[in-house]
Structure 1
Amino acid sequence: MDLTLTIFVLVYVAMGVGHLPFFRLDRTGAALVGAMLLIALGIIAPAAAWQSIDYNALGLLAGLMIISAAFSVSGFYDYAARAVGAAKVGPQALLAIVIAVSAGLSALLTNDVVVVAMTPIFCQICLARRLNPVPFLLAFCFAANVGSSATLIGSPQNMIAAETLHLSFLGFMKLAALPSLVGLPVIWGVLVLFYRGRWELAGTGATRVAPPQPLDVGETVKAFVVTAAVIVGFVATDWPHMLIALLGASILLVSRRVESQKLIGLVDGDLLVMLIGLFIVNAAVAATGLPQELIGWLRSVGFNLHDPMSMLIIMSVVSNIVGNNPAVMLAAPFLTGAAQPEALGAAIALGTGFSSNAVIFGSLAGIIVAEQGKKNGITIGFAEFAKAGVPTSLLCLLLAAGWILYLQ
């Protein structure tokens, strides 16, 4: 048990820090090494390791990543970012447009793919317009996290929770969409307050914007049609979500104009491997009985993992320690049998999505925005991110808590 717990702790230290201290082993590597050690040392049998992997959640995530990638390959993300950047409006109005576009796309497509595709373009456009890019990048990141909380396909952690709790698309959306929508003006208000008088860059030097990616109208329309069909399938049929997403992905991969490798290359394979590793690591620890003891202790002090308000608080805290995806992975084995599965799923989505704006490493979107900004000469440090992120997260979480109390 001691060795199992040691491996578990080291893996989740890497999840929180971003790498294993003193080693060049990132989150994905740590999860994979932890799983391999547990299997190789005989702590978990190979058959048990395979059985612990939730292929439904992984298949759903992979399928939706391919669907989202189709919009990137077709040039739609590039087109959308440039259309927003070209809007002839003032900085505050432009900020509102960025928030709306980010939230809308993230709710219907995997938010991390949206952020990866559009962040570099927003960086260039802000610099070309001589606008301070920091508030706009923060708005884009914050809105992606908050907007993705509205639907079960908005983020990987939502998909994991939805598959574990067997949630319906509409049932989830009815409970999560309204607080996500109300959270968007909060983001705008906080950023307008903190960056008043600091919208423009000093100097007059021009920044060259990279040539636009051509918009393939036919492929974009195809991607929209497939996306709409997938959502209709989620809503109107009893087919497993994974099969619907994989069917949609298959249709997009078979094309006479776009190489399948371009779509597959945009799938976040590191994330999928990390989740596989975490499934195995969590299963090995669950077999020790320690998590069950921890759950019992939490109940004794008033926290119940089947209670939406308790789950909102737990997810809000744990997400900012190990990240939102690993946080849901930790809770997933204990979610079955909930009396209010939709409300519990909404609490998980709102807790992980809203709290992850507090610090850079609270979400993959935050890390992507910081790293992509750095590549374009834009520095968003921990303090700069948290200055606006902490009040945004706290206000949005208060909204979520009030909403959950209303539901109960």
Structure 2
Amino acid sequence: VGTFIPIVVLVVVFLLIAVRKVGNTSLCIWQVVLSGAAAVLVAGAITPADALLSINPDVMLFLFFMFVIGEALAESGYLYHLSYRLFSRAESVRHLVVLILAGGGVLSALLMNDTLAVVGTPLMLYFARRHGISAKLLLLSLAFAITTGSVVSPIGNPQNLLIALSGGIGNPFATFPLYLAVPTAISLLLAYIFLCRAFPGEFHRDPLVHRKEEIRDPALAALARLSLVLLVLLIAAKVAAAVLVPDIEFRLTWIAVVAAMPVLIGSSRRFELVRRIDWATLVFFAGLFVLMASVWQSGFFQPLIEESSLDLAAVPVIMAMSVVVSQFVSNVPFVALSLPVLAHLGTSTTGMMALAAGSTIAGNMLILGAASNVIVIQGAERGGETLTFGEFARVGVPLTVAQAAVYVLYLALFPA
């Protein structure tokens, strides 16, 4: 019975996130996931010690310090000032969506998709209000851009980093783009096509009128700009270190900590900014780690994968299992389970790239498929907008199936 408690709780959590309502009470995603974590703890499906150990401090700290930088950028007005320089050339809604998909895709490969989710969400809400565009269209554009774009880089997301470090990949900064850049570009184009089909009324020909926003707090804006420059320089240094001296550990958490220091040390508004950050999303992640750890410990999924009659080293099987199973146990735990199994089977580099692509684009299918989706939606709800489970799935499910087919077909060109 104990084996099935976490599975039952996981199913209930999925259903509640889908409906987001109990009677007349509206539920936030973080409340549902936190309740799920509490349920498995109370039921004894995971011990308090294991629950505490399951909460990944690197992820929590990385997000906390990135939220501080994001809040400073938005509160100072510098984010909107900067967006004018980046997006003022967008002459129409169609052009703006293309820029979001292309820009978000490229930047997520360099800055990690969760970073883009933090900084990009208030920007999407600003564009929606400024130009009278559907916030849902822009939020989905951002979510699909940063998930899809992150496929192409070993530092684009946590599961790629895991594969780069533990998957026996030679020179990951060259290997990932070699195998995945072309299908990722095609996948971003597919995202544009599916968004056009889902929101036909939004893609009108009326020109967009851009307005340069004034900086509200020049002192905070200067510090936020310094934090942003530090973030970019440190990530560039991380990329260079990974290529030149791969033995040196250069953790993303440290990058976020150092980049946030100008704001936390230099700003007189530091306590106000810390109070205002998205604490709900941090609570969501803590709850998700506990819930997923209990599902993991239940041992329900491991035999299904390890005792399968399928050829687990085949690229289409890796892709399909990555997309589907990542919806239930989250992509990072799925990759952590899959790596030793695939290594035992002597899986090729092509197979490892299929694992990276499948576990990442799984995030385009459903809200819980990627952490960055939750960051986007929680940030949107703070700004008075939202995306429901159904609205996300309506575009995300067919898009993910199409993208998975592109990756499988393209990877078939490489030796098995």
Q: If the length of structure 1 is used for normalisation, what is the TM-score?
A: 0.75
- 8 Å CA contact 1:70, 1:263 repeated in 2: no
Q: Distance in 1 between matches of 2:71 and 2:102?
A: 19
- The one-letter code matched in structure 2 to 1:281 is S
CA contact (8 A) 1:131 1:199 kept: no
Task: Report if aligned partners of 2:191, 2:399 keep a CA contact under 8 Å in 1.
Answer: yes
Scaled by the length of structure 2, the TM-score of the pair is 0.73
Q: For residues 48-85 of structure 1, what are the alpha-carbon distances to aligned partners after superposition, in whole Å with 9 as ceiling and x for unaligned?
A: 778x7596xx5377448746854663566544434344
Corresponding residue of 1:313: 320
- How far apart are 1:390 and its partner, in Å? 3.5
Aligned to 1:185, which of 186, 189, 204? 189
1:248 aligns with 2:247: no
CA contact (8 A) 2:322 2:334 kept: no
Q: 1:34 to 1:342 in 2, by over 3 A?
A: farther
1:320-399 matched pairs, under 5 angstroms: 321-322=327-328, 326-330=330-334, 332-336=336-340, 338=343, 339-340=346-347, 342-370=349-377, 373=380, 380=387, 384-399=391-406
Write the letter of the residue equivalent to 1:103. G
1:183–1:388 distance in 2 versus 1, CA, 3 Å:
same
The alpha-carbon deviation at position 108 of structure 1 amounts to: 1.9
Report the counterpart of residue 100 of structure 1 in structure 2. Answer: 102
Q: 1:294 aligns with which of 286, 304, 307?
A: 304
- Size of the aligned set, in residue pairs, is 389
Amino acid of the residue matched to residue 5 of structure 2?
A: T
2-side partners of 1:78 and 1:164: how far apart?
Answer: 40
Contact 2:143 2:372 in 1 (8 A): yes
Matched, 1:5 2:4: yes
Aligned counterpart, 1:29? 34
| Partner in structure 1 of residue 283 of structure 2 | 270
Structure 1 residue 89: Cα displacement: 1.6
Q: CA deviation at 1:201?
A: 11
Confirm or deny: 8 A CA contact 2:93 2:202 kept in the other structure.
Answer: no
Residues 162, 345 of structure 1: 8 Å contact kept? no
149-158 vs 273-282, which deviates more?
Answer: 273-282
Distance in structure 2 (CA, Å) of the matches to 1:112 and 1:247: 15
Letter in 1 for 2:131: R
- Name the Cα RMSD after superposition: 4.3
2:352 and 2:32 map into 1 onto residues whose CA distance is 25
Q: In structure 1, how many angstroms separate the alpha carbons of the residues matched to 2:356 and 2:284?
A: 18
**Letter in structure 2 aligned against 1:257:** G
- 1:284 corresponds to which of 293, 297, 301: 297
- Residue 147 (str. 1) matches residue 149 (str. 2): yes
- The Cα of 1:405 is off from its aligned counterpart by 1.9
Q: Is the 1:69–1:266 Cα contact (8 Å) retained in structure 2?
A: no
Superposition deviation, residue 227 in structure 1: 1.7
Q: Structure 2 unaligned runs (5+)?
A: none
Distance in 2 of aligned mates of 1:65 and 1:403:
38
Structure 1 partner of 2:180 = 176
Contact 1:98 1:139 survives alignment (8 Å): yes
Report % sequence identity.
19
Please state how far the C-alpha of 1:36 moved relative to its aligned partner: 3.9
How far, CA to CA, are the matches of 1:340 and 1:263 in structure 2? 45
Structure 2 residue 240 is matched with structure 1 residue 232: yes
Maintained 8 Å contact 2:65/2:256: yes
Q: Which residue of 1 aligns with 2:85?
A: 83
| 1:184 maps to amino acid | L
Q: Structure 2 matches for 1:55-70, cutoff 5 A?
A: 59=58, 62-63=61-62, 66=65, 70=69
1:143 Cα deviation from its structure 2 partner? 0.9
Quote how far apart the aligned CAs of 1:310 are. 1.4
Q: Given that residues 360 and 366 in structure 1 are in contact (C-alpha distance below 8 angstroms), is that contact kept between their aligned partners in structure 2? A: yes
Deviation of residue 105 (structure 1)?
2.2
Letter of the 2:364 counterpart: N
Q: Which runs of 4+ in 1 moved over 6 A?
A: 19-25, 42-45, 206-211
- Structure 2 CA distance, aligned partners of 1:26 and 1:34? 12
Amino acid at match of 1:138: L
Distance 2:45 2:403 in 1: 45
1:129 matched to 2:131: yes
CA separation in 1, counterparts of 2:162 and 2:33? 17
Cα separation, partners in 2 of 1:263 and 1:386, compared to 1, 3 Å: same
CA distance in 2 between partners of 1:135 and 1:100 (Å): 15
Q: Report the alpha carbon displacement of residue 147 of structure 1 after superposing the two structures with TM.
A: 0.9
> For residues 196 and 303 of structure 2, what CA distance do their matches in structure 1 show?
46
Q: Give the whole-Å Cα distance in 2 for the aligned partners of 1:42 and 1:199.
A: 49
5+ residue gaps, structure 1: none
CA distance in 2, matches of 1:49, 1:372: 26
How far 1:232 moved relative to its partner? 1.7
Q: Report deviation, 1:253.
A: 4.8
